[in-house]
Structures are given as structure tokens and as C-alpha cells.
Amino acid sequence: MRRLREQHEFELLRAQYGMDNEGNFKEQSLTNMQRAVYSGELSVADYYERQIELRMAESSGIDDSSSCTKDIVPLIMTVSRSCTNVGQTLMCTTVDHYGSTYGDKGWGCGYRNMQMMLSSLLHHTGYNEQLYKQWVVGGPIRGEMPSRSAMPSISRLQQHIEWAWGQGFDVQGCDQLGGKLFNTRKWIGATEVVTVLSSLRIRCELIDFHRPTSASGSHPELFNWVLEYFQANDDFKPPLYLQHQGHSRTIVGVEQLKDGTVFLLLLDPSHSPHQMAELRNTSSAMLALRLIRKSLAAMKAKHYQIVAICGIMDNEIEYQQSKVLRSMRVPQER
């Protein structure tokens, strides 16, 4: 039994670092769509339509938005504020949910959460200006330049990270992943999100909650930090990227109950567009909110990282310094 468990963990690690030789986004998409046809989950007509959409997305570098649920903040806010025990609900300015698809199930959560972060920034003029540059620097574009609201596909994000590595960003992370992401199924995490943002001159902070801060193994200091982030009075507030071993999610807000209890509001790429759509349905909205709402007791990974966006770099020195990743440790050790 122990040997089987160790073998399973070894295979997971091989997959995480892209050493399982199991293809890429496009190949996995086609394989899983064929299986979906055989199982009756997908019609033959839908299969061919999805094939066309996949080819277009891979060619243009623009995500096909098949797993995207737009403008989700007002939906969550409405359901949360209808709860009689909720004192206040504080949320990011805007965000779209991106779920896993046939092509990235099992390895794409980092990319999908990055897309959620970018979906928010696209609504801010200053950040949008910086993000648009990735279509110029991240590799050749086929056809016309994308619109300013276009979301880069997973393959495009992989190319951009490789480009950023080539510019000297996160040398250690580049070495760890073998200097190659494009056309692989390698997992990415918080450091790759920082690499993408920093390479586009978007200032961000990496906060390292390196150990639990309660006897029960939970992270009250993380919850306090997130609460303070959303309490700050900013004109534009992006979501937060949250990483722990093996998975990542996007923090879009917090609820504070009338008794002071705090819940995080998390979007998870493993949730489907159908599950997100339940927020619009009066009879099922509360069940959908329970998927998103996380208590202190539910967050017991040993180690969490948060990526917070905090402005646009305004000088070359800061840009060059951002090539070396730094983090703030919480709690700070003396």
C-alpha cells in the first residue's frame, strides 16, 4: 500500500514538472473531447465546432472564452448581502471566472487563475495599456492584432513566460521548469504569475504565509491580511492570486459576519460555468455561494502564497530589480 501511494505521488510530481510526456493543451483537448463524444457528454456536431474553436484559439493566441463566466462580482455580492448573518461583503472591483476545459484539466489551474487576474486588470485603463504590450513582446501574432479586451490563451501565456525568462526574469524558476513551458503540461504557480506581471511593468507583491499561525493548523494572519486588503479604500481593487501545494485559486473578496467571523470568497478553476451560472438562479444561488465561501477551518495547507497587484512601475531601476523575485514572509521571523 505504501509503495502504491509513493508511486502515485511520484507520478503527480512528474506531471507537475511536465515529465510525464503526456502532450500539450491541444492534444489533451482533442483526446478528452473524443472521450466526451464516446460517453455521450458531447455531440459529434459540438465536437467539430469545438475543434474549429480550438484551432482558432491556438492560431490567434486568444482564449475562446468557452469556460468564462463574465461579471461575477455583482452576482456574488447580491447573494452574500441577502444573508442575514453577514455584516459586510467586500469585493474586488471586477473579475471574470475562468474554468478548466478539456485541454487543461489536471494541470491548468495556475493559468486559469492568471486569466482571472488579467480579466480584472483589462477593465483599468492603466493596466490595460501595460497588458496590451504582451501581444507585441510575447512572440509572433498570426493575423491582425487582438482587441484590447482579448484574453491570452494558455499557450500564449506559456510563450510569454518563456519570453520573460529570456529577459532575465526569475532565473531560478526558469531553471526549475527546464526553461520550457510552451507545448507542455507543466504546472505554474505564484512565481510565474509575478514573472508575467513584472515583465509587463505591473508592480506586484508576493506574500509568503510560510506556516500556520494557530495551534489548530489554520492561518488567521492570512485571513487578517486579506481582510485589511479589501478594507483599504482604493479606486480600483484587483483580486488576489492564492497558491498552495498542488492547487491555486483567486480571492475575489471577503465576508465579515455580524459576530466578526471572516470568510474568504474564492473562485476555483475546477468549478464549471454551469456551477457559476447557479449564482443567477434564486433557488440555487445559496448553494453556489457555499462553493465560493471558505472558512478559517477549511484553509489548513501548511503554506500559502498570495500575489497582490499594487500599481504600475514608473522607472527602469524598479523594472530591472523586479527580475529577481522577492517575497514578504508572514509572520516575520525575528
In order of start, what are the domains of the chain with their CATH numbers? Answer: 2-330 (3.90.70.130)
- Once rounded to an integer, what is the mean pLDDT over residues 110-123? 98
Whether the predicted pLDDT of 272 surpasses 90 = yes
Active-site entry in 204, 244, 268, 271: 268
Q: For the whole model, what pTM was predicted? A: 0.90
Active-site entry in 68, 92, 109, 174: 109
Annotated catalytic residue 268: yes
**In angstroms, rounded to a whole number, what is the distance separating the alpha carbons of residues 101 and 217?**
33
**In angstroms, rounded to a whole number, what is the distance separating the alpha carbons of residues 251 and 262?**
13
Cell output for 163: 519570453
Cell output for 198: 513584472
Query: Residue 53 — very low, low, confident or very high, per pLDDT cuts 50/70/90?
Result: confident
Torsion, Cα 181 183 187 188, to 10 degrees, reads: 40
pLDDT confidence of residue 276: 95
Q: Which residue has the higher pLDDT, 56 or 310?
A: 310
Residue 180 DSSP symbol: -
Q: What percent of the chain has pLDDT over 70?
A: 91
| Helices and strands (DSSP H and E) totals, the chain | 14, 10
pLDDT tens string 211-223: 999 999 999 999 9
Average pLDDT over the chain, rounded to an integer = 90
Residue 139: left (phi > 0), alpha (psi -120 to 50), or beta? left
- Once rounded to an integer, what is the mean pLDDT over residues 157-171? 96
Kind of pairing between the strands at 97-98 and 68-69 = antiparallel
- Once rounded to an integer, what is the mean pLDDT over residues 150-178? 96
**In angstroms, rounded to a whole number, what is the distance separating the alpha carbons of residues 105 and 250?**
17
Cα–Cα separations (whole angstroms), residue 170 to 134, 177, 181? 17, 11, 14
Number of residues that make up the chain: 334
**In angstroms, rounded to a whole number, what is the distance separating the alpha carbons of residues 136 and 152?**
12
Q: Which residue has the higher pLDDT, 264 or 281?
A: 264
Whether the predicted pLDDT of 117 surpasses 70 = yes
Q: Which residue has the higher pLDDT, 171 or 27?
A: 171
Query: Residue 142 — very low, low, confident or very high, per pLDDT cuts 50/70/90?
Result: low
